[in-house]
């Protein structure tokens, strides 16, 4: 009698009896799309880069992800021969980022990005959090209007392709030393969205220390 085998049996056996340690190259390739933030003093923690073999826990997490993908394909969850097309979401923020100087680049939001939120807090400040795209871009932007009617202040931490930078001349989030950076933000309210136009000059922080200045032009549209 021939024992009947299910199509997903090889996957289940791999998870049950497979390796408990994944190679560094495999884990790095798998984890690459996950947001990685540089250290920003008191308000950002650096995620350590994986340099050696992953632990059994990381291997198990990867195995679970593989099983989920395999079972989805077997049950018709998606068409393996087609590429999904993201559906535009009017509730998601959008942005256009231009860098000029030692680091040059032009970046836009990716509709498929896993992290894309923009919210206004009860104190009137706005916070944009974005992470996604290829090349990968992460933006953590805080805009604080002036209660007395003066100019708003902006602080940001940006990882775009190979470039990393941060600025906070308005001292709204830890602060920069005097003269380190300059930033201005124009807030443009609208019936369906609020637009923020940020212009900044800040040192290139890609190497971990302040380098040559980078000009930053960032336009963010937050649906309201």
Q: pLDDT tens digits for 157-210?
A: 999 999 999 999 999 998 999 999 999 999 999 999 999 999 999 999 999 999
| Token reading at 20 | 């408990």
The per-residue pLDDT for 151 is 92
pLDDT more than 90, % of the chain: 56
Residue 101 has pLDDT above 80, yes or no: yes
The per-residue pLDDT for 56 is 46
Burial (0-12, 13-18, 19+ Cβ within 10 Å), 142: buried
| Token reading at 36 | 């990685």
Q: What's the CA gap between 178 and 76, in Å, rounded?
A: 58
Answer with the residue of higher pLDDT: 123 or 56. Answer: 123
Strand runs labelled E in the chain? 94-101, 105-108, 115-120, 126-132, 137-144, 153-160, 163-167, 182-189, 193-203, 213-223
| pLDDT averaged over every residue in the chain | 77
Preceding omega of 135 cis (within 30 degrees of 0) = yes
Q: How confident is the model at residue 147 (pLDDT cuts 50, 70, 90)?
A: confident
Q: How confident is the model at residue 62 (pLDDT cuts 50, 70, 90)?
A: very low
| Token reading at 148 | 């007395």
Q: How confident is the model at residue 12 (pLDDT cuts 50, 70, 90)?
A: low
If you average pLDDT over residues 140-158, what whole number do you get? 93
Q: What's the CA gap between 59 and 34, in Å, rounded?
A: 16
Cα distances from 47 to residues 39, 119, 212, in angstroms, run 8, 25, 25
Task: Answer for the pair 15, 63: CB distance below 8 angstroms, yes or no.
Answer: yes
């Amino acid at each position: 009698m021939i024992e009947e085998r299910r199509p997903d049996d090889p996957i289940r056996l791999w998870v049950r009896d497979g390796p408990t340690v994944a190679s560094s190259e495999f884990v790095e390739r798998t984890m690459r799309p996950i947001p990685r933030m540089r250290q920003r003093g008191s308000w950002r923690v650096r995620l350590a880069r994986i340099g050696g073999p992953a632990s059994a826990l990381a291997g198990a997490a990867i195995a679970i992800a593989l099983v989920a993908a395999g079972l989805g394909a077997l049950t018709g969850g998606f068409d393996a021969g087609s590429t999904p097309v993201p559906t535009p979401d009017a509730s998601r923020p959008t942005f256009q980022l231009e860098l000029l100087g030692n680091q040059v680049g032009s970046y836009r939001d990716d509709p498929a990005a896993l992290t894309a939120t923009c919210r206004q807090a009860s104190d009137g400040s706005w916070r944009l959090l974005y992470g996604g795209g290829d090349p990968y871009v992460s933006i953590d932007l805080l805009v604080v209007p002036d209660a007395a009617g003066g100019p708003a202040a902006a602080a940001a931490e940006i990882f775009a392709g190979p470039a990393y930078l941060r600025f906070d001349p308005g001292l709204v989030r830890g602060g920069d030393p005097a003269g380190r950076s300059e930033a201005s933000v124009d807030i443009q309210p609208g019936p369906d969205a609020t637009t923020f136009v940020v212009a900044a000059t800040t040192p290139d922080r890609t190497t971990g220390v302040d380098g040559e200045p980078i000009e930053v032009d960032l336009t963010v549209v937050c649906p309201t």
